[in-house]
């Protein structure tokens, strides 16, 4: 019997500095209701879904940035989202800025089952950008200022009859991300992102190039690990800063199964057969037969590149 998971990729349009969480949650619920009419089992929202992409703003006093963080999940503003998902019997995943009781800051996503229980948590490992105000950049990207690198690795979870993993935004450009989950038999990776349409360090690199890099990384990760990947954007113009779209569902052969046009709130639903991962996992990417870990040592021994003398 085929293991079909109907996944909704729920893109969010821009969230302005002035928008409060209640208004964003209302938009997320509207997308969820739409996904429910299409029978979705799981809905996936973007990275930092509840607020504007605040790492573009420099707070000299870091503590000021705590306004963007959630101290509890669910909290009063997000509880309605959990309630509605449970009402629909829909699993969900979304990203948010997490402030722990110990005062630690992470760029986090969660996996919530159909009963509304948080069954998985992931904290973003590959933080792009920089820590201090950078006068060389066209705009700031201060993820390394506001977040610590994730401390939970790349776990996977059994849910909806399959094996699920998460990553966030820049993680999708790193083949290690998918491979660590692939080595745990992942069948669907869900990820959200906020990706500026322009490279802050190279103005001539425009959106078509950046969409190409996005698709290239996600499609390669899917193919090379024979897994579904659901990639969901926050898109459009946030207070004068443009984020690209490109929300898509990629099949275990690396092909785009469904793609959402535009940069507004919107949802695409696709019926993903988790058994479609088997052919790749049992043939060309049967890791047990083909990987040669004795030659991969540098990947875990060395962080930076060291050219030969």
Give the CA dihedral 76, 63, 170, 138, nearest 10 degrees.
120
Distances (CA, A) of 132 to 51, 59, 140, 239, 300: 22, 10, 9, 21, 28
Quote the tokens at residue 28: 């997320």
Quote the tokens at residue 293: 């870990």
| Residue 104 vs 158, nearer CB to a copy of itself | 158
CA–CA dist 180, 301 (Å, integer): 16
Treating both helix axes as pointing N-terminal to C-terminal, what angle do 175-182 and 207-225 enclose, rounded to 10 degrees?
A: 20
Identify whether 124 is a catalytic site residue: yes
Quote the tokens at residue 147: 């977040």
74: preceding bond cis by omega (within 30 degrees): yes
Residues between 108 and 127 with contacts to a copy of itself, criterion CB under 8 A: 125-127
117: burial class by Cβ within 10 Å (0-12, 13-18, 19+)?
A: exposed
Identify whether 77 is a catalytic site residue: no
Query: Among 254, 260, 265, 274, which residue interacts with a copy of itself (rule: CB under 8 A)?
Result: 254
Q: Give φ, ψ of 308 to 5 degrees.
A: -70, 155
Catalytically annotated residue among 98, 143, 167, 169: 169
Residues between 126 and 185 with contacts to a copy of itself, criterion CB under 8 A: 126-128, 149-150, 153-154, 156-158, 163, 170, 173-176, 179-180, 182-185
Interface pattern 272-291 for a copy of itself (x via CB under 8 A): -------x-x-xxxxxxxxx
Query: Among 58, 213, 242, 278, which residue interacts with a copy of itself (rule: CB under 8 A)?
Result: 213
Identify whether 272 is a catalytic site residue: no
Interacting stretch for a copy of itself, rule CB under 8 A, among 33-41, 47-55, 102-110, 211-219?
211-219
| Residue 182 vs 245, nearer CB to a copy of itself | 182
Active site members:
47, 124, 169
Binding site for a copy of itself (CB under 8 A): 125-128, 149-150, 153-154, 156-158, 163, 170, 173-176, 179-180, 182-185, 201-202, 209, 212-213, 216-217, 219-220, 223-224, 253-255, 279, 281, 283-293, 295-308
């Amino acid at each position: 019997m085929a293991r079909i998971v109907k996944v909704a990729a729920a893109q969010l349009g821009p969230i302005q500095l002035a928008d409060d969480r209640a208004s964003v949650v209302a938009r997320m619920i509207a997308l969820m209701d739409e996904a429910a009419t299409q029978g979705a089992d799981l809905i996936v929202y973007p990275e930092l879904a509840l607020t504007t992409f605040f790492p573009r703003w420099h707070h000299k006093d870091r503590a000021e940035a705590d306004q963007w963080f959630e101290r509890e999940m669910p909290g009063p503003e997000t509880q309605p989202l959990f309630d509605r998902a449970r009402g629909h019997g829909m699993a969900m995943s979304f990203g948010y800025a997490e402030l722990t009781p110990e005062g630690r800051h992470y760029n986090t996503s969660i996996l919530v089952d159909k009963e509304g229980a948080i069954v998985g948590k992931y904290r973003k490992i590959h933080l792009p950008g920089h820590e201090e105000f950078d006068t060389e950049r066209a705009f700031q990207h201060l993820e390394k200022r506001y977040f610590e690198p994730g401390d939970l690795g790349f776990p996977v979870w059994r849910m909806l009859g399959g094996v699920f993993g998460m990553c966030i935004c820049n993680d999708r450009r790193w083949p290690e991300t998918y491979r660590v989950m692939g080595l745990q038999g992942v069948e669907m990776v869900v990820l959200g992102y906020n990706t500026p349409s322009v490279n802050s360090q190279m103005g001539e690199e425009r959106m078509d190039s950046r969409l190409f890099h996005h698709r290239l990384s996600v499609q390669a990760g899917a193919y090379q690990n024979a897994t579904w990947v659901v990639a969901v954007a926050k898109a459009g113009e946030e207070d004068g800063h443009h984020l690209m779209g490109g929300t898509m569902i990629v099949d275990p052969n690396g092909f785009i199964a469904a793609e959402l046009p535009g940069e507004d709130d919107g949802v695409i639903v696709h019926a993903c057969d988790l058994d479609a991962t088997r052919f790749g996992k049992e043939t060309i990417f049967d890791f047990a037969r083909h990987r040669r870990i004795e030659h991969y040592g540098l990947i875990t021994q060395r962080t930076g590149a060291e050219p030969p003398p």
